[in-house]
Structure 1
Amino acid sequence: MVSLTERLKAKLGRKAPLKPLDAQARPVSNTTESHPPARPDSNKSPTSLPERLWDQAYDQAKASNLSTVSVYEKILSARLREQDANISEYPDSAELESQKNEIAHTADERRGQMQRLVNHGLRRTERDAELKQGMEDGIQAALAVKEVVDKAVQASPEAAIAWVGVCFALEIMMNPLTQASSNRRGIAYVLSRMDWYWNLSSLLLDENITEANSQPLRGELEKVVTDLYSRLLLFQMKSVCYYHRGRLSVFARDLIKLNDWDGELSAIQAAEAAVQADSAQYNTVSIRNRLGEIAETARSQNVKLDSISSAIREQTRQQEMIHETSADNTCLAELRLTDPRDDRRRIEETKGGLLKDSYRWVLENTGFQRWRNDPQNPLLWIKADPGKGKTMLLCGVIDELQQSMGATDLLSYFFCQASDSRINNANAVLRGLMYVLICQQPSLISHVRKKYDHAGKTLFEDANAWIALSDMFKAMVQDLEKRNTVLVVDALDECIADLPKLLDLVVSTSSSSTPIKWLLSSRNESHIEQKLRAIDAQGKLSLELKENAEHVSHAVNIYIDTKLSHLESMEDEDLMIQVREVLRQKANGTFLWVALVVRELEKPECWDPLQVVQEAPEDLYQFYDRMMTQIENLAARNSEMCRRMLAIATLAYRPLSLMELGSLCALTTSQGSALAKISRKLVAMCGSFLTVRDDQVYLVHQSAKDYLSSKMGDTVFPSESQIHHTLFARSLELMSGTLKRDIYDLIEPGFLMDQFQVPVNDPLAHVHYSCIYWVDHLHYSILGKSSKDDGSVQKLLQERVTNEFLRKKFLYWLEALSLLAFCHDSTRLASASNDNTIKTWDTNSGTNFQTLKGHTSSISSVAFSHDSVQIASASDDKTVKVWDASSGICLKTLEGHDGCVKSVVFSYDSARLASASDDTTARIWDASSGICLQILKRHSDSVYSVAFTHDATQLATASRDRTIKVWDANSGECLQTLEGHAGQVNSVAFSHDSVLLVSASDDGTVKIWDATSGAILQTLEGHGGYVQSVVFSDDSTRLASASDDNTAKVWDVSSGACLHTLKGHSKYVRSVAFSHDSTRLASTSKDGTVKIWDVSSNSGGTFPPTPMGHSDLVNSVNFSHDSAYLASASDDRTVRIWDHSLITPPG
């Protein structure tokens, strides 16, 4: 019989100890003996058997797969640095690439580092477990593994080398969305069996408990166990590298093959099987039973650990749903200007409530019934003169429709109001209609989110808002093709801005092919009639037609009866009958006239109601004349204040609060409730022109506003421009006396908008309107001047007080605007100049106070015109700005892109500009007028770079879709598409003779192309990261490239040889530019610096002192054509101009 000893010898002798660990890795040595563990000091206790085996396994892994272990040790070194510096965030790829490998070569020192890492990892596991509740089994399993690690390290602190990877693996299991499923399964398997692995060496190989006759094979079995441990360590190391793959450089990722996880796990299991087979008869039954018990526990833990992945994925899915809901709510909140449902309730309450008998007739009207029931009649237009009750009629119809519509039907509405700039334009109408629709059918928000997620709130407010809103609205209409939907718009005549566009949209969506029905109302105005001329007579309902007028008159009579029944002065029935008859005779079917007379009857001083109604003029405007006469007959002071109050209320851009109106009228020095009380008294003296609701002051009707506006400039009121000037001057006076630093006493500057509460006694309450609209009043006070009165003296005064205010209070004003969450389209400041013009700028721009600040987001690119007169900048705020290079004044802002603008360049004759954008297009602009000449639309993904040929006849574009396209710059025709890069193309440039084209890509290469044929002439390799930028020298003999590997390189175009590698930036290099004599190169970096390099032919690429100033990533740099100046653009939203002579050393 063959002995166990012989069988093991034969088994171990006829085969290598398992297949190589990594067939593709180049082994440093064929044996582990060339890397023996360091001999411990005599003063230190000898290492235990498990420690020694794990040390040997680590050295064996390093010998067989040096590249993986090196990257792993860099990650461990970075984690050690984080612990020492108490840093919570991971290093980026550039930082990790430059990280020094600080893991010790000696076993003793290495164990100390590993122990620190284990302790840190265990704390992370506890923290992650606390954060991930609701997955008890999986978390308990993870904590059970943590307990094993904890006990092992406490019992033998030097054993940490075996457990560092376990701690990383626990972290990975807590964040499974970053890993491949096969890798997760392998990690769960290894984690669950770590107790088995650790005890394996002690139980199988301990000299004190193994059988004596098996001692000769102890060394052979030790090798098999060590090989298993080495495979385990390599699996853990590769998993850690895979977990951090996003922070590894391209070169490092290519060194490590991180794809065959199933094969890696199979190799571990094969190694386990070899250990078990070779030791089957080697140890006692009790030892094998003990290992079996541990293995059974491991199987249970494996199942639970594997459940972590699915549990966390489910938790993440739920969190994503919560996040989506939150994002939907934010989008909906920013879409909302006002809630039309609240506007409707306000209108009904202000007008005394809804009387069903006053509108019931229209529900039975033939025209209304036809519109409601016939799919071939999708639009009904109700028209009438002022005061006929159109708005309340629609409120009643809305109420009836809500009660009768089916569960799946939708109803949205909007009430225009000319006196409120927030709801008197077509954009506001669409926003209101969409807001109410989305509140009823939340899934419709997806049509808004498609664009909103990229643009934010400016989508609803910028120059292209109507285009975006109408597109979203049309998409919603298409989505509602199976839902009965009614859209109601009241008072179209009070839609001041873009009404023709709104009416065109109404008509275009009023086809019988869609279930959308429109109900509109307005005055009898010809321009509305003309736009709705396509509607046949059946789609128009005039309240003045005889049969309808009778119904309206009856409704007015009901309104009269209701109003008189609530008057205390009408207790005498005979008196009530007389008053009622007079009102019915004089009302002429006008609700407003009745409402105004009733308000006169409600006044305490009305002691003879019959006389009041008898003397009331029958014509509405004559009634207004009478009210104005009464105001003029008040005491002089009261009369003056009432006229001032009416003038201000008429020209204000929105309804004012009692405190705002009182402050603007300079009624008193009192503030708060005292000011509001005085204002309310003055409002009551203003006849019936004004009404108060919830402390907000409203004009009683649009006809009242029309009447008061007609009086501007006569003996009653000053001219409109004078009133605007009064509002401007008073606003500056109020703000100058109110605004101060930290006006809400927040102390800390880092408050988010939803983290603070407005004080009970809001110090900004009385200047809220002034903070937002003073610029508009300044603007119109100047535009309103006649040719006879150019207002030069007043204008100079305006300049002086404006400059004084901005000099002293500018920052406090910006703080107030942010606290008031101001509306985007009112964030303007103005400067009046001696050339009789006024320029309006965005408040974020600061152009008049500091050169070249104006973009509201990161600036991606900057370019000088070739005559060095102008500078163009491209920004993530979707605009291109053109600046005067000398004064720093913003000459024009080019708008039109729907995504971040990534690149901008002038044509050589400076006549045109080209821009590239995330919206997948490039645009060509007239540099003088700012008109968009061409939109180039053939790329399938973001466009990152543009370049003109020298004669400006062609344009090249580089894209994320991995292609370069060459276009005819005049016709916009795509001439050719260049393919060859394996990653996104970040930059493109023509040589100055336009013969060559060069491109830079994420695939780590620079390619030189024949610009005519599109053939690849050379591929330049050498960078260790993405190549971000590339540029030709002026003489086209060299080119420069910028890379994520923290370097710039200079290449010989003819040979493709690398002439210089420029090292000095501490983070990745974003952009490069040659001076026009080709002796200097400028580079920009994430480290916030711009460096100037000497790249003359005999230079070694040394660089002078670095100009500083930017506080964030510097994205782009460019020399002026005469090389006298350098412009740089940064994520800090600024463009900086440098004097090249001051940053270039002499000689």
Structure 2
Amino acid sequence: MATNASYNGTNSGIQVAKNFGFITANLGQPETLLDQACLRDLRTTNPYDDKERIKKTNGGLLKDSYRWILENAAFRKWQNDQSNHLLWIRGDPGKGKTMLMCGIIEELTRSHSDSVTTSFFFCQATDMRINNATSVLRGLIYLLVEKHPSLLRYVRARYDSAGKDLFEDVNAWSALVSIFTQILEDSSLKSTYFMIDALDECRDGLQDLLDLIVENSTTHQEIRWVVSSRNEYEITECLDSATQIAPISLELNEASVSEAVDAFIQHKVDDLATRKKYDKSITTTVKRHLLANSQGTFLWVALVWKNLDQMPKRHVMKKLDMFPPGLDALYCRMMGQVRDSEDADLCKQILGTATAVSRPVTLSELSSLLEGRNDGFDDLDTLFELIGICGSFLTLRESTIAFVHQSAKDFLIREAFTEILPEGLDSEHHTIFSQCLSVLFNTLRRDIFGLKLPGISTKDISVPNPNPLAPVEYACIYWVDHLVACKSDTTYRLSAKDKERVDTFLQRKYLHWLEALSILGSLSVGIHAMRRLEKLIEEENKSDGALERVQDASRFIQYYRAGIESSPLQVYCSPLVFGPSKSLTRIAFEEDRPDWVLNHPIVEEKWSASLQTLEGHSRAVDSIAWSPDRSRLASGSADKTVRIWDPATGQSVYTLEGHSRSVNSIAWSPDGSRLASGSADKTVRIWDSATGQSLSTLEGHIHSVNSVAWSPDGSRLASGSSDNTVHIWDPTTTRSISTLEGHIHWVNSIAWSLDGSRLASGSADKTVRIWDPATGQSVSILEGHGHWVNSIAWSLNGSRLASGSTNKTVRIWDPATGQSVSILEGHGHSVNSIAWSLDGSRLASGSADKTVRIWDPTTGQSMSALEGHSSSVTSITWSPDGSQLASGSYDKTVRIWDPTTGQSMSTIKGHSDWVNSIAWSPDGSRLVSGSYDKSARIWDPTTGQSVYTLEGHSLSVQSIAWSPDGNQLASGSYDKTVRIWDPATGQSMSTLEGHSDWVQSIMWSPDGRRLASGSDDTTVRIWDPAIGQSLSILEGHVYQVNSISWSPDGNRLASGSVDTTVRIWDPATGQSMYILKGHTHSVNSIAWSPDGRHLASGSGDKTVRIWDPATGQSVSTLSIGLTSFVRFNTANPNQLCTNTGIFTISSVDTATPVPKSFTHSPKTPGLGLSNDCSWITCNGLNLLWLPSEYRPLDVCLISIREARMAFVCSLNRVMFLALPQSFSST
């Protein structure tokens, strides 16, 4: 194979990753750090902190106020009776349910500290972070894994692939239910109490949460539940149906509750008397008033106590009557106090804003939201005083403002709406939206934390004090939500002024906002926000520049999400270097483009059809499928897993593990509740798509399962196998209903007709068969493909059947007649997958030529070719609404495309097929590339333009090499020849003929007077390029020669072969001096050290060997994985560069292999690449993130010369990057 990548000049050659000292210095992230990151992202709030906050807000927890429930008969029955696992405390607002829950938690924790586990959660309707079912489950799991760290493995199993989005995206509930279920089934989890307070304040997903509670209250004997709620219909209806429940109604226990309230009053008044120095008369009067008017309501007592605590002793007696009985009456009186205040207008504005915000805000956030409305809001001390005036409604704890109780907010909306929101709720939302944009305009700026390093990771960022983002965090997260929330009122529905402000924001502050979101760990919020904004503008029929800019901004954040999410300052780097030249966002921020990228790499003009790339699988993606509701995308991979993705954000939601070999096919059931997967392990698995649990395993095939498909009604499941059969299964009983036999080779694909009356199968026997699944009989055989049939698909109406074949074609058949209607030609390699759009107007095909094509099935014409994958496309699927197309590939990625754009990824001229080899000219002024398209191209790295195309070879150009003086260029080809070119003119000077098989490697002697070539004919030839004659033929290898290398003095020549040996030759005599044996697989690359003292060889046996060429002995072996090339650094002879890293050979411990998990990137001097080739590095630090299309296609095809880098990217394009000379070395 070709391995030519020049390594000339100071610090030239590839630097992927350097290992100083022993190889074992490469360490992955410690598990403790990963555990900490997982816990940090799982946490919404710490329920323990919530409990302490609630206790403080309510004046402390008094045991006498909850002692009664511990003695209650229903409570004791729940605690002791094995048939009652669910305790439900129900009652009206203010009756003390939350404090009862606090007491129960503390009592159970104290009395059973060693024998039981307690996990709890407090819902709060006014806080979006803790008012939904997903947050409840996060909180319960968080406390469980904190107490039992071993249980964290169930969270980590999915977190490691999905990150924080596992807990936040659209499928978070399903993923968490699955994790929670696994934890409950763990044998190490013994007696456990789960307690959830205020179910009625769970605003999102309440029914799901109730179902979970009821289901798990009967299935686990060791698990007990305590829940509390108001007497609301939805909750009552669900919990009344529970079979193992012990309800406690506070209204039915009025006497006990009243006694508890009386005890609470005694305690609180005694506290007041002590601190405020009440005399006996005042104390008695206050107690009497509270006892007479509390009406058994804790909240009423707490609010009155709060007011008395702020009141001078001298005013108590005359103002005691201002506290009427009943919560609503008290709220009315407190609202009257607000009205009578000299700051009434300011207080009402505060209450109105507090009612409209999506979560409790901090004092500084509230100041930002109120800024400009009134001078009184500019000073935090003044704002603090105003909150105090609103104290009967609002509480301030640790700088966060919240309603004292949900009933307080309910009262204001019901009884004081026109006062606190005189223009209505929509107006307030609009005002908050406007203010959010204003503070973002005034606050956000580039590098707001002063990070400076463009590649610094979010996990390495320290928050400065004061935090400049603290006052605007709310605005960053929620500004679009408030704009969308006010759209119902025509007065505030996206006015021309709003549209202009949004447009200006996107032009001037958009990148600053994305930086802030990345720092806040909320970039996915930005993705959803831009999609909502885009939808809002589309709904208003504003099809003008505003929509175009929002769409561009949305593409921008989706496409560069991974880079920006990992490193906030990359928002000013990678997108502005590699983004489409006509992207409105790129143009708007052109001045922010990094000045250390000296050239302008040639990129596309417009966004391609590729919307985003989903990365996470570690091997080829073999199958993909959209869920019927389009909310999820599933992928099956050769890494043995199935992944479920959120296609809106591109995040992996969870990973399904269970197969022991490659997952070849996946399919959703028609209702989306189940997912089937077929594997090379001979089994079909059915999964619960909501929980990710494996429901059943279908066994019966004796070879790999290649395809699975559900019948349209979901009652049957078909599978096709390499055992030449199709099985039809009953997915409920897991029994095989019938076996369809007839194919004489592998069944690669199966598909049901829409009405379920027919089943088609495509086979490696070159035929398509149509079966009657009711009888198991073959109805017809469609013949015409000259090779394997890889994929088949029915049109929606069943009138057409399409098939894709290894012969590069797609055929459309009339299944009624069995005749081929048309043949679609255009792909350059095997067609692996096909799919009809829902309306039948388009047919998509994925091919080994790395493209997806969209066809007009009526005319047979190719409508567009979608490029972007760097390897064979294995699977394609349309979204149910036909608006998007997804593709899976051997390049380990899933791509989501916009099929309507018709924009191919590559519109830039270059090679038309794979690039095999690149090499810099000795002076660095030119670069040459050789390709499968039979040509070589000479490039000007300054402009990125192709200067000459060298044409003459009749087959692939495998190897290229410059003469030492740069005046000649040699190329070796599959056409068995070597050509000499004049690089100044691009003309062929001579053709060297003599090899009888492919020429794989060529190299000039150091003096430029000889040229050596290695061939598949097992020989090495030495040529005189001046006369075009073969000087000698070196024979000895028994298989093809992959690589050759001259010693620095030109007196020896080394060759590496598929025969596993390295030979050292005397080029003068043509005699073999040494045969170096030790490798157990093909030798792919060899290289001499600059001083000639060492020879390195890289092999398919996953080792690099260092040899002493003077003795022919192996002096060390590096176990570093599959090695495709080796090169010594000419500036440092002790540095060996390979495709897996840079190693200092003088300090290698030959007995110590590199760890299999090779993820750490130590410091690399000068310009280099990260191990996964996703980053350009400088001195070992991440510098520039590379989007997937612009990553090196092969590490063999990278060449670095001082501060310039050339590489062949995934688009099969030669890319150049020039940086300042200071970047070349330390």
- Interval containing the TM-score (normalised by the shorter chain): 0.5 to 0.7
- How much has 1:434 moved relative to structure 2? 2.2
Alignment partner for residue 387 of structure 2, among 666, 672, 683? 683
Give the corresponding residue for 1:742: 447
Residue deviations 1:583-639 (CA, integer Å, cap 9, x gap): 33322332222222222223366741122223222222122122222222233xx32
User: Could you tell me whether the CA contact under 8 Å between 2:430 and 2:492 is conserved in 1?
Assistant: no
User: Could you tell me whether the CA contact under 8 Å between 2:727 and 2:737 is conserved in 1?
Assistant: yes
Equivalent positions of 1:506-585 (< 5 A) are 506-511=213-218, 514-534=221-241, 539-542=247-250, 545-567=253-275, 569-585=276-292
Aligned mates of 1:693, 1:960 — CA distance in 2: 66
Alignment partner for residue 505 of structure 2, among 805, 808, 830? 805
Give the corresponding residue for 1:764: 469
Aligned mates of 1:1092, 1:822 — CA distance in 2: 36
Alignment partner for residue 412 of structure 1, among 113, 119, 122? 119
Provide the secondary structure at the position in 2 that maps to 1:762. coil
Give the corresponding residue for 2:362: 657
Alignment partner for residue 344 of structure 2, among 631, 634, 639? 639
User: Could you tell me whether the CA contact under 8 Å between 2:750 and 2:760 is conserved in 1?
Assistant: no
Aligned mates of 2:801, 2:296 — CA distance in 1: 87
Aligned mates of 1:368, 1:990 — CA distance in 2: 56
User: Could you tell me whether the CA contact under 8 Å between 1:418 and 1:496 is conserved in 2?
Assistant: yes
Give the corresponding residue for 2:22: 127
Alignment partner for residue 46 of structure 2, among 314, 333, 339? 339
Q: CA, structure 1 residues 981+753, in 2 after alignment: closer, same or farther (shift >3 Å)? A: farther
Alignment partner for residue 204 of structure 2, among 497, 502, 510? 497
Q: CA, structure 1 residues 774+585, in 2 after alignment: closer, same or farther (shift >3 Å)? A: same
Give the corresponding residue for 1:373: 80
Aligned mates of 2:803, 2:427 — CA distance in 1: 62
Q: CA, structure 1 residues 364+958, in 2 after alignment: closer, same or farther (shift >3 Å)? A: same
Mark the structure with the bigger radius of gyration: 1
Aligned mates of 2:414, 2:427 — CA distance in 1: 15
| Equivalent AA in structure 2 for residue 518 of structure 1 | W
Give the corresponding residue for 1:822: 522
Residue deviations 1:962-982 (CA, integer Å, cap 9, x gap): 98667999x999886679999
- How much has 1:514 moved relative to structure 2? 1.2
- How much has 1:662 moved relative to structure 2? 1.0
User: Could you tell me whether the CA contact under 8 Å between 1:492 and 1:521 is conserved in 2?
Assistant: yes
Residue deviations 1:82-124 (CA, integer Å, cap 9, x gap): 999744679xxxxxxxxxxxxxxxxxxxxxxxxxxxxxxxx98
Provide the secondary structure at the position in 1 that maps to 2:458. coil
Unmatched tracts of structure 1, length 5 or more: 1-73, 91-122, 133-318, 865-869, 882-889, 907-911, 926-934, 1076-1080, 1094-1103
Alignment partner for residue 303 of structure 2, among 576, 596, 603? 596
Aligned mates of 2:700, 2:44 — CA distance in 1: 35
Alignment partner for residue 110 of structure 2, among 376, 379, 403? 403
Provide the secondary structure at the position in 1 that maps to 2:472. helix
Give the corresponding residue for 1:105: none
Provide the secondary structure at the position in 2 that maps to 1:814. helix
Q: CA, structure 1 residues 81+1039, in 2 after alignment: closer, same or farther (shift >3 Å)? A: farther
Give the corresponding residue for 1:774: 479
Between 1:658-667 and 1:976-985, the stretch displaced more is 976-985
Q: CA, structure 1 residues 86+387, in 2 after alignment: closer, same or farther (shift >3 Å)? A: same
Structure with higher RCO (Cα < 8 A, 6+ apart): 2
Residue deviations 1:436-458 (CA, integer Å, cap 9, x gap): 12222334345445655665544
Matched, 1:444 2:166: no
Q: CA, structure 1 residues 575+1039, in 2 after alignment: closer, same or farther (shift >3 Å)? A: closer
Equivalent positions of 1:718-729 (< 5 A) are 718=422, 719-729=424-434
Aligned mates of 1:536, 1:995 — CA distance in 2: 47
Matched, 1:394 2:101: yes
| Equivalent AA in structure 1 for residue 430 of structure 2 | H
Structure number with higher helix proportion: 1
Residue deviations 1:525-572 (CA, integer Å, cap 9, x gap): 3443332224799632425534313422332223323431453x3343
User: Could you tell me whether the CA contact under 8 Å between 2:118 and 2:192 is conserved in 1?
Assistant: yes
Give the corresponding residue for 1:1115: 873
Aligned mates of 1:452, 1:1050 — CA distance in 2: 40
User: Could you tell me whether the CA contact under 8 Å between 1:1030 and 1:1041 is conserved in 2?
Assistant: no
Matched, 1:708 2:466: no
Aligned mates of 2:114, 2:254 — CA distance in 1: 38
Give the TM-score normalised by structure 2. 0.52
Residue deviations 1:997-1048 (CA, integer Å, cap 9, x gap): 5457xxxx9887686767999999999xx99989999x99998766xxxx97
User: Could you tell me whether the CA contact under 8 Å between 1:863 and 1:873 is conserved in 2?
Assistant: yes
Aligned mates of 1:605, 1:674 — CA distance in 2: 29
The sequence identity of aligned pairs, in percent, is: 34
User: Could you tell me whether the CA contact under 8 Å between 2:195 and 2:226 is conserved in 1?
Assistant: yes
Aligned-residue CA RMSD in angstroms? 6.5
User: Could you tell me whether the CA contact under 8 Å between 2:85 and 2:223 is conserved in 1?
Assistant: yes
User: Could you tell me whether the CA contact under 8 Å between 1:461 and 1:825 is conserved in 2?
Assistant: no
User: Could you tell me whether the CA contact under 8 Å between 2:352 and 2:420 is conserved in 1?
Assistant: no
Provide the secondary structure at the position in 1 that maps to 2:873. strand
Between 1:699-708 and 1:728-737, the stretch displaced more is 728-737
Aligned mates of 2:59, 2:137 — CA distance in 1: 28
Give the corresponding residue for 2:1046: none
Aligned mates of 1:1069, 1:893 — CA distance in 2: 28
Give the corresponding residue for 1:349: 56
- How much has 1:939 moved relative to structure 2? 8.6
Aligned mates of 1:893, 1:391 — CA distance in 2: 37
Equivalent positions of 1:48-67 (< 5 A) are none
Structure number with higher strand proportion: 2
Equivalent positions of 1:423-442 (< 5 A) are 423-442=130-149
Aligned mates of 2:460, 2:789 — CA distance in 1: 42
Aligned mates of 2:179, 2:480 — CA distance in 1: 32
Q: CA, structure 1 residues 545+767, in 2 after alignment: closer, same or farther (shift >3 Å)? A: same
Provide the secondary structure at the position in 2 that maps to 1:857. strand
- How much has 1:492 moved relative to structure 2? 1.7
Provide the secondary structure at the position in 2 that maps to 1:344. helix
User: Could you tell me whether the CA contact under 8 Å between 1:905 and 1:948 is conserved in 2?
Assistant: yes
- How much has 1:706 moved relative to structure 2? 0.9
Aligned mates of 1:713, 1:851 — CA distance in 2: 50
User: Could you tell me whether the CA contact under 8 Å between 1:389 and 1:592 is conserved in 2?
Assistant: yes
Aligned mates of 1:495, 1:1040 — CA distance in 2: 51
Give the corresponding residue for 2:614: 857
Q: CA, structure 1 residues 87+947, in 2 after alignment: closer, same or farther (shift >3 Å)? A: farther
Q: CA, structure 1 residues 412+837, in 2 after alignment: closer, same or farther (shift >3 Å)? A: farther
User: Could you tell me whether the CA contact under 8 Å between 1:1086 and 1:1112 is conserved in 2?
Assistant: no
- How much has 1:818 moved relative to structure 2? 1.7
Q: CA, structure 1 residues 1006+855, in 2 after alignment: closer, same or farther (shift >3 Å)? A: farther
Aligned mates of 1:1036, 1:654 — CA distance in 2: 54
Give the TM-score normalised by structure 1. 0.55
Residue deviations 1:1092-1130 (CA, integer Å, cap 9, x gap): 99xxxxxxxxxx9x989738557379999xxxx998958
Q: CA, structure 1 residues 553+956, in 2 after alignment: closer, same or farther (shift >3 Å)? A: closer
Alignment partner for residue 399 of structure 2, among 667, 684, 695? 695
| Equivalent AA in structure 1 for residue 487 of structure 2 | I
- How much has 1:402 moved relative to structure 2? 0.9
User: Could you tell me whether the CA contact under 8 Å between 1:659 and 1:679 is conserved in 2?
Assistant: no
